Structure 1
Amino acid sequence: MKKYVLGIDIGTGSVKVTGVDYYGKIVAQESASYPLLHPQVGFSEQNPDDWVNATTKAIHNLLTLDKISAAEIAGISYSGQMHGLVLLNKNNEVLRPAILWDDTRTTKQCQLIEQQMAQHFIQITHNRPLEGFTLPKILWVQENEPEIWQQVKIFLLPKDYVRYQMTGQLATDYSDATGSVMLDINTQQWSSTICDQFHIPLSICPSLLHSSEIAGTISSEYAQISGLQSGTPVYAGAADNAASAVGAGLLQPQSVLSSIGTSGVVLKYEPDAQTNYQGVLQFEDHALNDAYYSMGVTLAAGDSLNWFQRTFCRHQSFAALLKEAEQSPVGANGLVFTPYLVGERAPYADAFIRGSFIGLDSSHKRADFIRSILEGIIFSFEDLMQIYQHNQHNFDTVISIGGGAQSPLWLQIQADIFNKKVASLMNEQTASLGATIIAAVGAGWYANFQDCTDVFVKTKKFYYPIADNVTKYQKLYPIYHQVYQHTRDLSFNLIQFRQQNH
């Protein structure tokens, strides 16, 4: 049997290529970065060929520097940044830079979708139209770049364009398709209702594949430039959140993922397509066949701590800040922070709310500010956890990844605020690991995802709620929860003042 599978994770700032063996051990890993383009305020774009060139460089280094034999690679799969719009013409050439997930130019188009389809849109997609999704980007191109729109033959998501350049085959997978908000979640087909409503030809929607389904093989052309062996099987892959869920072993309803990066994600496995959070939480196809996941996003999770560090203590490491937070007690001596630095997505879809410290007095020390930020981020996650509790979608374990899993203090804060067992993992790189799991299942190494994750995903440590801390947080959380309502109008008025007096 061949020895390795590769997982390719197409991130926003870089690509990471990971090689693992049959037991999930990382035997090699290479990465390469690419630039972000911001031609105007609120615009976020990338050149799709930069993803391909960086991927090729990382693969070449993996084969030559890490001594992975191309002949011993059993299969390749992907994790990819979600929602990005890649438009191709009849010759499968890129028509314009890709519009990315964090691009905010499409507020007008989101309002148009709401006006024309309202609740019907939520019934079809189980999502609300948000600026980050793909459909509003298509409508923006329709309106603002008609000469481009007239040439569109097909649209792809970021990882799908990279896979096309490696195999010559055009397709997407179901998890990325749902992230476009153009897929009917009930029929698992592209929605003719949505496409007809907005004058989008169904023909520009790519064919649909399950994540572990074969999507092609490495072409002879790509083999020559990358060093891979032509004919190597390539599997469809998944949207990065779906791949992360796989890489964290989130395959059952009793677990929830807590991910703290620049933004924060709370994600739950959902077994039933009929589940509908009315767009308050996103609802997407999972990488597993006939399974789904819901997720809510805190826009400035880890970025809140980044802001504090670069503004007030630039020369201190994050490890030092987290250590300093230990000097402050549960509740940060009555200081509460709300992490709405760039607006919020869930449970408040509010672009105008802004962050705040509440309860500040002259006795507070820097340690209290740091701890209140850590607690405020997790309180924002608890807002999302409460939605599950209110819908009787119960769970007993939280799997923590990202920055929040690097600190024992922050892990304990999660256990105490959630009042749940919290697990940290041996391998934090869940998106790339998820891509390798997809490849391993596709290649037939394992019969299903559960069998594979039982081997590949390993828990480092469990953190359990401390009863006294839980009691204190249960008194403090309702206070935190009131801050949004009481500061919403204030935030809006302050933004208006700032714009008028800039």
Structure 2
Amino acid sequence: MLLLGIDIGTSSVKVSIIDADPQQIITSAQYPDEESPIIALQLGWAEQSPDMWWEQTLQALSRCHSTGKYNPADIAAIGIAYQMHGLVLVDKNQQVLRNSIIWCDSRAVEYGDKAFDAIGHETCLSHMLNSPGNFTASKLAWVKENEPEIYARIDKIMLPGDFIAMKLTGEITTSESALSEGIFFDFKNNAISEHVTGYYGFNSSLFPPVRPVFSSHGNVRESVAKIMRLKAGIPVTYKAGDQPNNALSLNVLNPGEVAATAGTSGVIYGVSDQLGFDPQSRVNTFAHVNYTHNLKRLGVLLCINGTGSLYRWTKNLFGAAVNYTQMNDEAGTVPLGSDGLRILPFGNGAERMLNNKLVGVHLHHIDLNQHTRAHIFRAVQEGIACAFRYGLDIMRENGMNPTIIRAGKSNLFLSRLFTETFVNVTGVPVELYKNDGSAGAALGAGIGAGIFASPAEAFSNMKPIDLVEPVSKSMEPVYGEWKALLDRELLIN
């Protein structure tokens, strides 16, 4: 029996076909080959076209089909993972009303700050476990005030994965996990937050029906099935944001378990059974994929907006002749500490862990007679690892003290240098797995469809491929200098 997983990323869409019995990937494909554009009409803005995501999904699936390694008619269920916090708006005919305001867009910070003060800090944190911040609810408030003609035509609001499910099935649904990531969910009352909707003036009719993450979110329409070469009626049985889904794909489902990723953004995501919150909302708490009213499973999320995106920017800066493998190799020729070069990696929008400040990327202590591009490559990796340490210390303040972190061997964790720098500066071992967001979404579909009796069964064949442990505290002086530079920038901002 086959499962289809779709991962709607910022850079591309990736699709995987999984054989459910051995839990093995038959084939995967992504589209496009180059990174998708982000539309920035103003400084700090970030938008993408939902219709672009749909076209990329079709193209990626077509690439999988073209391998001839499976019969598409054997696909039994579909799961979807997606970039979190994006706002998608459709009218009553399910037509997109504007580009999606995506996760790294900063325009709504002021709206969230005002809501936090007006609703009350204690009320927001105890009920929503977060400040409204720059999340989906605040982005919708921006549309309401600045684009009233579009707001008036909204039939339903969605997150990116909800949109792809709608295109597949014609149905629009959401989940408590999705509502919580948009700061629409009241954990005390287990309902859509009346504090948020009342303050912003949102009508409850804008929200789709709420269903469990692992459940039916509609069946593939016949017209779509023909285009995608699938059987009509296949159920969509799983939808989750990319970070809860990454945790699922690493079998991180129970209190104390922690996952990390270093793709476009960098994330540490730990599971808790406590309705806790950071008083400054620098790290955020959402309903995990297995959250229920009776069994609390919360995902505590630290996000650094510009990790892989900074490494990509650095690669592009030095031209098409350099690739990531070369960058990693060259970085390894430079001594620890990059001969004094320091980089703050915060150039992709307002950073939640820095109280929603727009700090930007900074290069410090450049020596024109000493530093080469290899120094920059290493300093970028060290700067990103230091940012992870800074955020992990905030999580530790809030009671999350991981003894081991699970990560997929992908993106920056493909670099042995980065992985070793990460574990040495954080002091936490990293267990590496062959994991993939689209594969995780496929296995999630198997759980939602009842093909697997439990998540434990879905990941029964998953084994680590490497363990990297701390061997030195030599990054401590580097981190101390890095943090002092960040503290100075925060005072200026």
Does the CA-based 8 Å contact 1:209-1:236 persist in structure 2?
no
Using a 3 Å threshold, how does the CA distance of structure 1 residues 144 and 368 change in structure 2: closer, same or farther?
closer
Residues 1:5 and 2:8 are matched in the alignment: no
Q: Pick from 190, 193, 202: which aligns with 1:191?
A: 193
Q: Report deviation, 1:361.
A: 5.0
Choose from 413, 421, 442 the match for 1:413: 421
Residue 306 of structure 1 aligns with an amino acid whose one-letter code is R
Deviates more, 1:166-175 or 1:332-341: 332-341
Q: Given the superposition, is the C-alpha separation of residues 15 and 66 from structure 1 closer, same or farther in structure 2, using an over 3 Å criterion?
A: farther
Kept in 2, the 8 Å contact 1:88–1:155? The answer is yes
Match of 1:453 in 2: 459
Q: Which amino acid aligns with 1:479?
A: E
Calculate the TM-score normalised by the size of structure 2: 0.90
Which residue among 337, 347, 351 is the counterpart of 2:353? 347
In structure 2, do the counterparts of structure 1 residues 474 and 197 end up closer, same or farther at CA, with 3 Å as the change threshold?
A: same
Cα distance change of structure 1 residues 63 and 277 upon mapping to structure 2, 3 Å threshold: farther
Identity %: 26
Q: 1:355 to 1:221 in 2, by over 3 A?
A: closer
Q: Secondary structure at the match of 1:437?
A: helix
Q: Which residue of 1 aligns with 2:129?
A: 126
Query: Does the 8 Å contact 1:173/1:236 carry over to 2?
Result: no
Q: What displacement does 1:21 show?
A: 0.5
Q: 1:49 aligns with which of 51, 71, 82?
A: 51
Name whichever of 174-183 and 383-392 sits farther off: 383-392
Length-normalised TM-score, structure 1: 0.88
CA contact (8 A) 1:14 1:31 kept: yes
Deviates more, 1:49-58 or 1:407-416: 49-58
- Verify the 8 A CA contact 1:399 1:422 in the aligned structure 2: yes
Shift in Å, 1:293 = 0.8
Shift, 1:444, TM fit? 2.0
Residue pairs, 1:28-427, within 5 angstroms: 28-33=27-32, 36-63=38-65, 65-119=67-121, 120-131=123-134, 133-276=135-278, 278-290=280-292, 291-311=297-317, 315-342=321-348, 345-359=351-365, 364-366=370-372, 367-401=374-408, 402-427=410-435
Shift of 1:248: 2.1
> SS where residue 62 of structure 1 aligns?
helix
Cα deviation code 1:435-479 (max 9, x no counterpart): 011111122232221231232x3321111111xx22x22344233
Count of residues in correspondence between the two structures: 482
Residue by residue over 1:340-364, the C-alpha shift from the partner in whole angstroms, topping out at 9 and shown as x without a partner, is: 3346514212434244344555774
Looking at structure 2, the residues matched to 171 and 222 of structure 1 have their Cα atoms a distance apart, in angstroms, of 18
Aligned to 1:497: none
* Structure 1 residue aligned with 2:479: 477
Q: Distance in 1 between matches of 2:395 and 2:434?
A: 27
1:451/1:108 CA distance change after superposition, 3 Å: same
Structure 1 gaps, min length 5 = 493-502
Give the superposition deviation at 1:305. Answer: 3.1
Task: For residue 410 of structure 1, give the secondary structure of its aligned residue in structure 2.
Answer: helix
Mean alpha-carbon deviation: is it higher for 108-117 or for 407-416? Answer: 108-117
CA distance in 1, matches of 2:244, 2:91: 29
- For 2:14, the aligned partner's letter is K
Q: Deviations over 1:289-344 (max 9, x none)?
A: 33121111222223333344433576333222222222333333444332233465
Give the counterpart letter for 2:421 in structure 1.
Answer: I
Aligned AA (1:185): F
1:338 is paired with a residue of what secondary structure?
A: strand
Contact 2:281–2:355 under 8 Å retained in 1: no
Task: Indicate conservation of the 8 Å contact 1:253/1:395, yes or no.
Answer: no
* TM-fit CA distance, 1:155: 0.9
Please name the residue that 2:467 is paired with.
462
2:381 partner letter: L
1:277, distance to aligned residue in structure 2 (A): 5.2
Contact 1:174 1:210 in 2 (8 A): yes
Alignment partners' CA distance in 1, 2:486 and 2:130 = 23
SS in 2 for 1:186: coil
Distance 2:246 2:131 in 1: 23
Relative to structure 1, the CA distance from residue 54 to residue 326 in structure 2 (aligned partners, 3 Å threshold; closer, same or farther) is: closer
Structure 1 pair 199/166, CA: closer, same or farther in 2 (3 Å)?
Answer: same
**Correspondence for 2:441 among 435, 445, 452:** 435
- Please state how far the C-alpha of 1:247 moved relative to its aligned partner: 1.2
Supply the distance in 1 between the matched residues of 2:477 and 2:165 (Cα, whole angstroms): 50
- Rounded to whole Å, the distance in 2 between the matches of 1:122 and 1:116 is 13
- In structure 2, do the counterparts of structure 1 residues 434 and 107 end up closer, same or farther at CA, with 3 Å as the change threshold? same
Whole-angstrom CA distance in 1 between matches of 2:143 and 2:67: 42
Q: What is the Cα deviation at residue 204 of structure 1?
A: 1.0
C-alpha separation between the residues in 2 aligned to 1:325 and 1:46? 33
Distance 1:35 1:274, change over 3 A: closer
Residues 124-183 of structure 1, C-alpha deviation per residue, up to 9 Å, x if partnerless?
22122333x211221112112222222222211111122122122220122222111111
1:246/1:453 contact within 8 Å kept? no
1:281 shift after superposition: 0.2
Distance 1:358 1:99, change over 3 A: closer
- Contact 2:89/2:154 (CA < 8 Å) preserved in 1? yes
Distance 1:114 1:412, change over 3 A: same
Indicate if the aligned counterparts of 1:251 and 1:450 stay in contact, CA closer than 8 A: no
Question: Aligned partners of 2:352, 2:276: CA distance in 1, in Å?
Answer: 20
Q: Distance in 2 between matches of 1:343 and 1:85?
A: 16
Structure 2: gaps of 5 or more residues: none
Question: In the superposition, relative to structure 1, how do residues 346 and 107 fare at CA in structure 2: closer, same or farther (>3 Å)?
Answer: closer
Change in CA separation of 1:441 and 1:485 when aligned onto 2, cut-off 3 Å: same
Structure 2 counterpart of 1:101, one-letter code? W
- Deviation per CA, 1:167-214: give whole Å up to 9, x if none: 222201222221111111333311122111111111211122222111
Amino acid at match of 2:359: I
Structure 1 residues 36 and 324, CA, compared in 2 at 3 Å: closer, same or farther? closer
Q: How far apart, CA to CA, are the structure 1 residues paired with 2:267 and 2:206?
A: 30
> Contact 1:82/1:240 (CA < 8 Å) preserved in 2?
yes
Shifted more, 167-176 versus 58-67: the winner is 58-67
CA shift for structure 1 position 380: 0.8
Amino acid at match of 2:418: W
